[in-house]
Amino acid sequence: LGQMFAGQGVYSSPYGQLGGWNAGSTWNGLFRHCTRRTVWDASYTVSLYTIQQALLNRQGFQEIQTGPSNSLSPVPSPIPIDLQPFTNEVITSKRGQVSVSGFTAKSRLTVGAYQETRRGQTSANDQNVIGFSAIWNWQFTRRTVSTVQAAWQQIDNLNNVNGSGNNDLAYVSVGLSRLISPEIFGYLEFRHLQQDSDTAENQYDENRVTASLNVMF
**Tens of pLDDT, residues 141-173:** 888 999 999 999 988 887 765 555 688 889 899
Q: How many helices (H) and strands (E) does the chain have?
A: 1, 10
Phi, psi of 124 (to 5 degrees): -100, 20
Task: Decide: helix, strand or coil at residue 203.
Answer: coil
Q: Within a 13 Å sphere around the CA of 66, how many CA atoms are in the beta-carbon half?
A: 5
Q: What is the band of 18 on the pLDDT scale with cuts at 50, 70, 90? A: very low
Q: What is the band of 3 on the pLDDT scale with cuts at 50, 70, 90? A: low
